[in-house]
Every structure is written in C-alpha cells, then in structure tokens.
Amino acid sequence: MTIAIFGATGKLGGHIIDQLLEREIPASEILALGRNTERLEQLAGRGLATAAVNLDDVDGTAATLSGVDKVLLISVSDPGQRIQQHANAIEAARQAGVQHLIYTSALQAPTTILELAADHKATEELITASGIPATFLRNGWYTENHVQDFAAARGNGAIANSVGEGGLATASRKDYAEAAAVVLTTHGHKNKAYELSGDTAWNYNEFTAAAGKVLATPVSYKALNAEEERERLLCRHRRVPRHPQHQHTRWRPRPHIR
C-alpha cells in the first residue's frame, strides 16, 4: 500500500507524516509530494519516498502517482489558481488509477457562506465527478491561526477584528492530522465527509480574558464593524500605516460561526 501526500512539505502534511509513522506505516510506503526541495530532502532522510511535483503538468503528476493506492490531497495555497491545480491533481490521480482520494476541505463546504470555502466546494465537486472513491476531511479553523492575536495582545493590550460575538471551535493542526491519519490507515471511509472542529467554541471576549491571564496584563477586545475591517484591510493592502489602534491586529476571513 502506498500513500501519496500532496502538501507533505507543509505544516499539516508534516503532522500527518508523523502520525502515519507513529501508526507504524513504513516510511517507504509514504510518497511525499511538494515543491520545497529542501523539505523533501529532509523527508527522504527519514526514509520516505519523495517527489517534486508540478501541478501544471498533469501527465508528469500522473506518472509520479503510478502504483499509488491512496492519495491525500492537502489543499494548496496559491490564491486564484487553487481550483485548477486541484483539478490537475485529481485528473492525475484518475489517470494513475488511484483507489481512494482524501481531500482536506472546509467545514460545511457545500453550504457555508465562508467565501474561502468556494474553492473547496468546487474541488469536492470535481472529485465527485472524477468517480474516484473519496473522503472529504472538512477541516475547521486552525487554533494556530490565533498565535498572532497573542502578539497583538502583547504589543498593545488590544485585539481588534470583526468577529464580534462569533464563536470559533478551532482545533490544532495536530488534531486534524490525527483525523487524516485515521482515515488513511483504517477502513470504511470511502464516500464519506467528516466535519472536523474543536469540541468547544470560544469567542474573543474569552480569548482576551485568557490572553490577559497568560500575559499578566490587561487585554481588551475591540469589535470592528464591516466597514472598519474593510478599511483596515485596504490600508494593509496599500501598505499605508494603519490607525495606531489597529497596528498589531490582523485580518481574518469571517470564521465558521457555530
């Protein structure tokens, strides 16, 4: 059994590889795919099969996948090109006769209002149309996305964004990786979609209270309205210095609201 992983050189991919090895999948049965040659060399050093991948080259990618049983397609990160790159990976898997395609999607991809999920919805549809038996791992927001909020809290004692009262049931990459490893190493997951998130939703009032405790300093939360958030985004885009109140904050798309 060979498992090929697109995105093996990334952070989520790294956790998934760790979890597969912990489950005693032989390293030689894992084919790590990515573009970062330095990272691929490190993975080869751990005994994994590796290959540099060019998702614009369907035939070459199909040849790379020859003899592979399962493919994990971790969504790529090139804005504007993602759907085509995913389409090419799916077509390469189809040509190579892959038996099971697992895709890291987004929570409630077919119905969510989260704009970022449109690519995931489109990718799920392409996978279904390909006829390859598939599993959708609909991952929620990473907890690690909020590490920078601590930096904002430390920097100016405030966090500002337009999440408002919204709750975020985040989970760590390691947790999502464990789910992927279970699906890759056990039976019964074909033609299923799993909605994956943390157990408990938290909001920014709770986050600032926790940050204040950890940092031993008062931290406040400022809820921005959509227009203020938009202005902040545009300032950032134009590289215009932001209003001092917002200088240590960062934009995030509207998260999944439970």
Ligand X SMILES: NC(=O)c1ccc[n+]([C@@H]2O[C@H](COP(=O)([O-])OP(=O)(O)OC[C@H]3O[C@@H](n4cnc5c(N)ncnc54)[C@H](OP(=O)(O)O)[C@@H]3O)[C@@H](O)[C@H]2O)c1
CB of 35 to ligand X, least distance (A): 4
Which of 32, 27, 126 is CA-nearest to residue 74?
32
Judge contact between 169 and 258, C-beta under 8 A.
Answer: yes
CB 89 within 8 A of CB 22: no
Task: Give whichever of 91 and 231 is closer to ligand X, judged by the CB atom.
Answer: 91
Identified binder of ligand X from the candidate list 141, 204, 207, 221, rule CB under 6 A: 141
Q: Which stretch binds ligand X (CB under 6 A): 3-11, 151-159, 181-189, 238-246?
A: 3-11
Is residue 143 a contact residue for ligand X (CB under 6 A)?
no
- Contact indicator for 101, 93 with CB cutoff of 8 Å: yes
Residues 7-66 that bind ligand X (CB under 6 A): 7, 9-13, 34-36, 53, 55
Amino acid at 60: G
CB of 140 to ligand X, least distance (A): 6
Among 51, 91, 126, 142, indicate the residue that binds ligand X (CB under 6 A): 142
Q: In a 10 Å sphere around its CB, with 0-12 CB exposed, 13-18 middle and 19+ buried, how is residue 217 labelled?
A: exposed
Distance between CA 128 and CA 105 in Å, rounded? 13
Which residues are near ligand X by CB under 6 A? 7, 9-13, 34-36, 53, 55, 74-78, 85, 139, 141-142, 145
